[in-house]
Structure 1
Amino acid sequence: MHALEMSTERLDYAMTVVRHLESVETSPELRAVFNAVQPAVSAFYSSIPLNEQLWNALKAFSETEEAKHLTGVRNRLLTKTLDSFRRHGAQLDPYGKKRLAAIDVELTRITTKFGENTLDSTNAWDLVIEDQAQLAGLPPSAVAAARESAAQKGREGWRFTLQAPSYIALLTYLDDRGIREKAYRAFQSRAAEPPFENRDLVRRILELRAEKAHLLGYANFADLVLEERMAHTGAHALAFLRDLEQKSVAGFDRENQELRAFGGELAAWDVAYFAEKQRQALYDFDEEALRPYFPADRVVAGMFDIVERLYGIRVVQRTGPPVWHPDVKVYEV
């Protein structure tokens, strides 16, 4: 069991590093090699539970007296491993195993492409404002960040993107309704148009997930994914959401009515803006006023101090190791 658990450790580590870099600081060269190895890596991982000799060895061990007397973590590991092998096709016939392996490879390829399209379409959009009067309503921190963003691109003015810090500040504080609408529509339509369109990929992902679930004996993909989680089935998860809806819809409607009474008829790009204005009017509370008290360095230091007091774990920043971006900090635990 230990040998099986550790057999993929080097590959797991390598792929974790590469996937992380691809998601935070990609380059054409990194993306090319990542996509080149993905099919082979996916096929390899799929082949492990589909290996009949390995599955038979696991089953044989699970029926021994030694296995029956395992307790605690060891018993849990054996149970989880057997369940995982079953969910990944160990009991399928040869045709089913071959088809499942093909599905996994294709899903890996197109879900990776889906993420790339979403990332690329997010990064492709920006808005540079050259008239400072159009920045009315924005807090100084957002204005400074937009100025720095423009400078990094060698441009004049203030640059806004669909990245969360920039986008949320713009939708929440900017007085110019037209710009809020433009940013909102751009955010909601990410990866909806060429060259980064995801429509066909979404359709194919759903088809393959449904086929995979049926092949493994599940009614739908939700049941396959949720089997080991608290909800266990898609029906239970949906029932929870519907129950939550019934319990919250009255409060939701009331708050919407109060917001409309405060700001008038609102479009989607008005909601965050007027909700913030309403909060300031009702509670005299401004998130920006708290910002000077919570700079990132102080928050991180406080978090590490709590960790040390609670668990005796010391976290120390190091400056030696190379990093993939100037903003990255390295800590030793």
Structure 2
Amino acid sequence: MAENLKGCSVCCKSSWNQLQDLCRLAKLSCPALGISKRNLYDFEVEYLCDYKKIREQEYYLVKWRGYPESESTWEPRQNLKCVRILKQFHKDLERELVRRRHRSKPPRHLDPSLASYLVQKAKQRRALQLWEQELNAKRNHLGRITVENEVDLDGPPRAFVYINEYRVGEGITLNQVAVGCECKDCLWAPAGGCCPGASLHKFAYNDQGQVRLRAGLPIYECNSRCRCGYDCPNRVVQKGIRYNLCIFRTDDGRGWGVRTLEKIRKNSFVMEYVGEVGSQDHACVCSSSHLVFLLCAPSSHHGVPATFLLSLWKMWVVVVFNPRARDILAGESIPSW
């Protein structure tokens, strides 16, 4: 019985932080959770709700983690040690004051609508942080993913599930590759031309993993039946995203986009578009809101960062392999064309 359970796992209904909060609410010590009598009454700031200034003393309305908003309290600045949260609060406040064409210096009392906006922004930021953590927990590639929205109050896309491989739809069967190469060194000593040669094509990559074929030619990578290992230079796409990327909200109405956080050399693999492989009937259903290829791999509910590549048609587009014809600088958005 025990061997049948090997590799099984059960998701917790509550996170570690939530369990700690429950202990503090119930005033219970729990060494396993790091809650002792010494830190039982330590309170953590979840976000700041409001601001006021009285006789040159700054006060903040604090939402405490693990407690309802009704138990938020006004605290003087010197009582708060959450430097990052304070900086973000004032950054959001100043940005919204400028947007409303008010002076950038905070007033002594915030307008109720302004305070409400700051609360919504704090909640949104927390939701995006949790989504970012979820994406990075599920990824099986080297590159990290960050999420950013400094444009509006939209949170994570609804019903979107991060996946690392194609998800096969109902009634679809993907045939496994039948043969592999016998190369000891696929780049410098390919046996029979390696996997590309077996299909009468040239090796696709140079020693830096950059594409050296002209556009439109197929790429044949080594597979699970090949003698070579994971470090083979003919295994590029299957290693996934190597670069740190940011999913960000655009300021021109095109929704979510992707930008790189580091320089990407031209002709380098960026990311693979992964979605659900469906039938032609399924393509007819999803084509009303998505650009669909004959293969039909829509990413309306399942996908990767490539889902958010921007296009001129203001749609999500399918990019199976996205090498770039020029270098992409750090901070630059990744186009889909």
Q: TM-score, normalised by structure 1?
A: 0.23
More strand by share: 2
More helix by share: 1
